[in-house]
């Protein structure tokens, strides 16, 4: 890490930042009073959350009859929203774990916020699991607990039980990974704190961290192992979510392509959400020197790749439906594209397959406006993907006499709005009270990836290097 | 830190401005015959623990054992509930059908491994919500690097060690008493 910036490497930190600048730029918004924008955004989120919570409460009070479900379409927005949120929750771990293993240093500036987004997205996803149970107080029946029915255990052969294990493990491990990464930065805030209260609170959460060489060595070691554990974990989670569909015998669901196709789609939508959040954060918190166009472009490349994988998967599904010679399978897909839900299918195709291809243009990849708009479009498309898979496969089932359409009610919509209120409330609390950029990790890339290296990186003896860089063997 | 500081110890703290300088200084100070207590930095410095002569962490062994515990727990859980306690045939599969339990086995392995390893990390570093941090200099979580030298454990006198620190690139040398 002590090499001078290679001319072939694009800089990750611009503006000639020193270590002290990193601390200052990131800690500033934690220590200062909430800005007007933050207060307004937070107020709106809380109002939305309260409205949504009231509607969720009513859903539970009255029963799931308030949703637009019918005998034919027994899963609709609830599972669509669940899969959508879980998918979004994949980008954070991909950035923090897989990109760590691949030594992609640009992840250092975005991993903290992306991991936070992951955790909050999984919370939103879990809320739909509780909602669609109808009787959330019986949610513990999904766990293998001794009971008075025998004990009659959960069915470990069911993908729904695998899902319970996968999502709860994923949430726990992501939370732990995120928190361990936060500890050194919380210690930074603790040591800068002016007020007794914040010194106490950040002190308690920083666990008495003092940055000794021994602690750092262990920290690096466990980060690597956590990354190694999280990599198959993140792939397993959406694989198992796809099993919820793939192991059933519904035409349109019963396909072996689902696991890779779901994982690619999850990363695709997750990165789009990261883009939306980071583009706002970098401007509001003035972090343009840390979250640069380089970062935006890198993420857009991931979006293009995963979007193309998703596109190939859509076409493969169609081809296999025809090639299998199973008329029910073929009908399911023809019905998707040309049946009464054709608009959902083509919305999905346009948003997920066609529009991300615009990112082949470098100018669009590096444009804030294009990136923001296309990322929103991707997330709309990914919502429609899940809607298409779930509702369109169900609505024309085995007997034409029971064919039906799904019509969302006020409560379908409001319960979805609830999850936005929850997500943004949590994310805004995070962005105010915790450092949104991993300061310690960004400091490790300052020397190797700064655009212009200041004379002294630690920011004291400005104007002169502290010593001649005789230690730098590579440079000589 | 796990080390106890019951009796008052006097430390000489060299403050450095640069991570490469402190890494080089560790070797120089050690060569000059000074025993270094520990180095504190705002971010991990590669090779620093090796330069200081810290033994390689054995946390990986702990992680493996925790992971293995998770695997065995999952095997025992599925075996007991599905085969011994209440055998069930679902989907035409045998009441104990190993492949369908792979997701459960995998998830519990990862869960136990991650939680156990992080728990070990917290305990072995002596971290905890009520722990008062042993800070030699508050700036070491910002932009400074501190090399702490326990004067009680060194033969050389304070002045001589101070000179060695200065010579190896320390910007300031402070005395810290615990």
CA distance A72 to chain B (A): 23
Contact list, B91 vs chain A (CB under 8 Å): 157
Say how far apart CA B69 and CA A218 lie, in whole Å. Answer: 22
Contact list, B111 vs chain A (CB under 8 Å): 168-169, 172-173
Name the residue facing A20 among B88, B124, B142 (closest C-beta): B142
CA distance B105 to chain A (A): 10
- On the question of pLDDT at B140 being above 50, the answer is yes
Contact list, A218 vs chain B (CB under 8 Å): 57, 59, 121, 124-125
Say how far apart CA A211 and CA A397 lie, in whole Å. Answer: 61
Q: Tell me the average pLDDT across A190-198.
A: 89
Q: In chain A, whose CA is at the least distance from the CA of B98?
A: A157
Say how far apart CA B115 and CA B118 lie, in whole Å. Answer: 5
Cα distances (Å, whole numbers) of residue A16 to A56, A100, A450, B171, B172? 50, 24, 6, 22, 25
Q: Tell me the average pLDDT across A190-210.
A: 90
Name the residue facing A213 among B41, B63, B85 (closest C-beta): B41
pLDDT bucket at B7, cuts 50 / 70 / 90: low
pLDDT of residue A463: 37
Name the residue facing A218 among B43, B124, B136 (closest C-beta): B124
Question: What kind of fold does domain B10-53+133-177 have according to CATH?
Answer: Alpha-Beta Plaits (3.30.70)
| Residue A150 is assigned to a structural domain of this protein | no
| Residue A468 is assigned to a structural domain of this protein | no
Q: Which residues contact B136 (CB under 8 A, 6 or more apart)?
A: A210, B11, B13, B40, B146, B148, B176
Q: Tell me the average pLDDT across A441-453.
A: 75
- Tell whether the torsion through CA atoms of A462, A27, A91 and A366 is positive or negative: negative
Note whether B44 contacts A: Cβ–Cβ < 8 A: yes
CB contact under 8 A, B39 and A212: yes
Name the residue facing A236 among B45, B78, B103 (closest C-beta): B103
pLDDT bucket at A466, cuts 50 / 70 / 90: very low
Say how far apart CA A393 and CA A377 lie, in whole Å. Answer: 23
- On the question of pLDDT at A434 being above 70, the answer is yes
Q: Tell me the average pLDDT across A96-116.
A: 86
Q: Tell me the average pLDDT across A236-241.
A: 93
- Tell whether the torsion through CA atoms of B121, B124, B129 and B131 is positive or negative: negative
Contact list, A456 vs chain B (CB under 8 Å): 17-18
Q: In chain B, whose CA is at the least distance from the CA of A23?
A: B142
CB contact under 8 A, A460 and B128: no
- On the question of pLDDT at A470 being above 80, the answer is no
- On the question of pLDDT at A325 being above 70, the answer is yes
Structure token digits, residue B71: 């695997």
Q: Tell me the average pLDDT across B19-35.
A: 87
Q: Which residue has the higher pLDDT, A103 or A329?
A: A329
CB contact under 8 A, B78 and A156: yes
| Residue A413 is assigned to a structural domain of this protein | no
Contact list, B52 vs chain A (CB under 8 Å): 213-214
Q: Which residue has the higher pLDDT, B3 or A138?
A: A138
Among A24, A188, A218, A443, the residue to mutate for chain B (most B Cβ within 10 A): A218
Range of the domain at A388: 19-137+159-396+429-449
pLDDT bucket at A354, cuts 50 / 70 / 90: very high
pTM of the shown model = 0.90
CB A183 within 8 A of CB A209: yes
Note whether B149 contacts A: Cβ–Cβ < 8 A: no
Contact list, A177 vs chain B (CB under 8 Å): 114
Q: Which residues contact B67 (CB under 8 A, 6 or more apart)?
A: B109, B110, B112, B113, B116
pLDDT bucket at A428, cuts 50 / 70 / 90: very high
pLDDT of residue A290: 87
- On the question of pLDDT at B5 being above 60, the answer is no
Most confident of A72-76, A459-463, A465-469, B137-141: A72-76
* CATH label of the domain that carries residue A234: 1.20.1630.10
Question: DSSP string of A127-140?
Answer: HHHHHHHS-GGGGG
| Residue A371 is assigned to a structural domain of this protein | yes
- On the question of pLDDT at A5 being above 60, the answer is no
Q: Tell me the average pLDDT across A125-133.
A: 93
Q: Where are the domains of chain B?
A: 10-53+133-177, 59-124
Contact list, A188 vs chain B (CB under 8 Å): 42, 141-142
Q: In chain B, whose CA is at the least distance from the CA of A201?
A: B129
| Residue A459 is assigned to a structural domain of this protein | no
Question: DSSP string of A117-170?
Answer: HHHHHHHHHHHHHHHHHS-GGGGGGGS----TTSS----TTSHHHHHHHHHHHH
Say how far apart CA A370 and CA A372 lie, in whole Å. Answer: 5
Among B121, B126, B137, B146, the residue to mutate for chain A (most A Cβ within 10 A): B121
Q: What angle do CA A39, A43, A47 make, to 5 degrees?
A: 175
pLDDT bucket at A445, cuts 50 / 70 / 90: confident
- On the question of pLDDT at A459 being above 70, the answer is no
Residues 83-112 of B with CB under 8 A from A: 85-86, 88, 90-91, 93, 97, 100-101, 103-104, 106-108, 110-111
CB contact under 8 A, A222 and B124: no
Name the residue facing B128 among A23, A184, A208 (closest C-beta): A208
Name the residue facing A218 among B57, B85, B101 (closest C-beta): B57
Q: What is the mean pLDDT of chain A?
A: 88
Q: What angle do CA A439, A170, A202 make, to 5 degrees?
A: 35
pLDDT bucket at A457, cuts 50 / 70 / 90: low
Name the residue facing B59 among A19, A180, A221 (closest C-beta): A221
Note whether B42 contacts A: Cβ–Cβ < 8 A: yes
Residues 63-82 of B with CB under 8 A from A: 63, 77-78, 81-82
Among B3, B44, B63, B117, the residue to mutate for chain A (most A Cβ within 10 A): B44
CB A440 within 8 A of CB A110: no
Looking at the 3D structure of chain A, how many domains does it have?
1
Establish whether the linkage from the previous residue to A151 is cis, with ω within 30° of 0. Answer: yes
CB contact under 8 A, B63 and A222: yes
Q: In chain B, whose CA is at the least distance from the CA of A186?
A: B141
CB contact under 8 A, A218 and B39: no
ipTM of this model? 0.91
Say how far apart CA A216 and CA A200 lie, in whole Å. Answer: 23
Say how far apart CA A351 and CA A47 lie, in whole Å. Answer: 30
Note whether B31 contacts A: Cβ–Cβ < 8 A: no
Name the residue facing A209 among B90, B117, B127 (closest C-beta): B127
Contact list, A172 vs chain B (CB under 8 Å): 111, 114-115
Q: Tell me the average pLDDT across A135-158.
A: 89
pLDDT bucket at A28, cuts 50 / 70 / 90: confident
pLDDT bucket at B91, cuts 50 / 70 / 90: confident
Question: Looking up tokens 């199973």, which residue turns up?
Answer: A326
Question: Looking up tokens 């696991």, which residue turns up?
Answer: A259
Contact list, B71 vs chain A (CB under 8 Å): none
- On the question of pLDDT at A449 being above 80, the answer is no
Q: Within a 10 A sphere around the Cβ of B153, how many other Cβ atoms? A: 12
Q: Tell me the average pLDDT across B106-123.
A: 95
pLDDT of residue B2: 44
């Amino acid at each position: 890490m002590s090499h001078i910036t290679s001319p072939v490497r694009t800089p990750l930190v611009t503006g000639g930042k020193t270590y002290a600048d990193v601390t200052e730029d990131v800690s500033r918004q934690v220590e200062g009073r909430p800005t007007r924008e933050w207060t307004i955004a937070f107020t709106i989120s809380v109002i939305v959350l309260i409205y949504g919570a009231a509607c969720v409460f009513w859903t539970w009070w009255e029963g799931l009859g308030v949703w637009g479900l019918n005998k034919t379409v027994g899963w609709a927005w609830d599972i669509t929203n669940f899969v959508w949120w879980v998918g979004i929750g994949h980008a954070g771990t991909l950035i923090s774990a897989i990109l760590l293993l691949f030594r992609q240093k640009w992840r250092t500036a975005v991993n903290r916020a992306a991991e936070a987004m992951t955790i909050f997205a999984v919370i939103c996803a879990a809320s739909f699991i509780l909602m669609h149970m109808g009787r959330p107080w019986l949610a513990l029946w999904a766990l293998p607990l001794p009971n008075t029915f025998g004990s009659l255990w959960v069915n470990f052969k069911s993908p729904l039980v695998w899902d319970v294990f996968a999502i709860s493990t994923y949430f726990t491990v992501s939370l732990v990974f995120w928190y361990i990464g936060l500890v050194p930065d919380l210690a930074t805030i603790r040591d800068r704190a002016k007020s007794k209260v914040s010194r106490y609170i950040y002190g308690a959460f920083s666990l008495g961290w003092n940055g000794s060489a021994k602690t750092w060595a262990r920290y690096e070691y466990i980060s690597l192992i956590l990354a190694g554990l999280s990599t198959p974990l993140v792939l397993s989670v959406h694989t198992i979510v796809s099993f919820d569909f793939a192991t059933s015998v519904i035409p349109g669901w019963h396909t072996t392509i689902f696991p890779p196709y779901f994982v690619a789609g999850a990363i695709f939508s997750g990165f789009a959400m990261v883009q939306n959040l980071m583009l706002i954060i970098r401007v509001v918190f003035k972090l343009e020197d840390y979250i640069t166009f380089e970062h935006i472009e890198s993420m857009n490349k991931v979006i293009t790749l995963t979007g193309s994988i998703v596109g190939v998967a859509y076409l493969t599904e169609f081809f296999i439906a025809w090639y299998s010679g199973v008329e029910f399978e073929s009908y399911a897909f023809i019905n998707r594209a040309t049946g009464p839900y054709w608009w959902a299918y083509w919305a999905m195709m346009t948003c997920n397959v066609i529009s991300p291809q615009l990112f082949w243009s470098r100018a669009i990849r590096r444009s804030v406006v294009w990136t923001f708009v296309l990322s929103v479009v991707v997330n709309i498309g990914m919502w429609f993907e899940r809607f298409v898979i779930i509702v369109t496969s169900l609505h024309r089932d085995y007997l034409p006499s029971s064919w039906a359409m799904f019509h969302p009610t006020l409560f379908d919509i409001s319960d979805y709005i609830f999850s936005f209120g929850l997500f943004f409330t949590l994310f805004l609390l995070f962005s105010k009270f915790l450092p949104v950029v991993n300061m310690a990790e960004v400091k490790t890339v300052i020397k190797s990836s700064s655009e212009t290296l200041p004379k002294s990186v630690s920011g004291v003896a400005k104007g002169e290097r502290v010593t001649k860089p005789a230690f730098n063997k590579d440079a000589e | 830190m796990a080390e106890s500081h019951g009796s008052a110890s006097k430390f000489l703290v060299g403050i450095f401005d640069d991570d490469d300088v402190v890494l080089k200084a560790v070797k120089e100070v050690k060569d000059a015959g000074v025993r270094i207590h520990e180095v504190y930095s705002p971010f991990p410095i590669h090779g620093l623990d090796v330069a200081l002569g810290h033994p390689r962490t054995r946390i990986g062994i702990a992680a493996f054992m925790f992971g293995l515990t998770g695997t065995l727990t999952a095997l025992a859980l599925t075996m007991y509930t599905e085969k011994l306690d209440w055998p069930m045939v679902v989907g035409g599969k045998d009441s104990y059908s190993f492949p369908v339990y792979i997701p459960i086995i995998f998830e519990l392995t990862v869960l136990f491994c991650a939680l156990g390893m992080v728990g070990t990390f917290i305990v072995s570093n002596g971290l905890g919500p009520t722990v008062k941090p042993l800070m030699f200099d508050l700036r070491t979580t910002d932009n400074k690097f501190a090399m702490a030298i326990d004067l009680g454990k060194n033969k050389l006198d304070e002045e001589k060690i101070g000179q060695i620190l200065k010579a190896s690139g320390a910007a300031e040398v402070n005395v810290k008493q615990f």
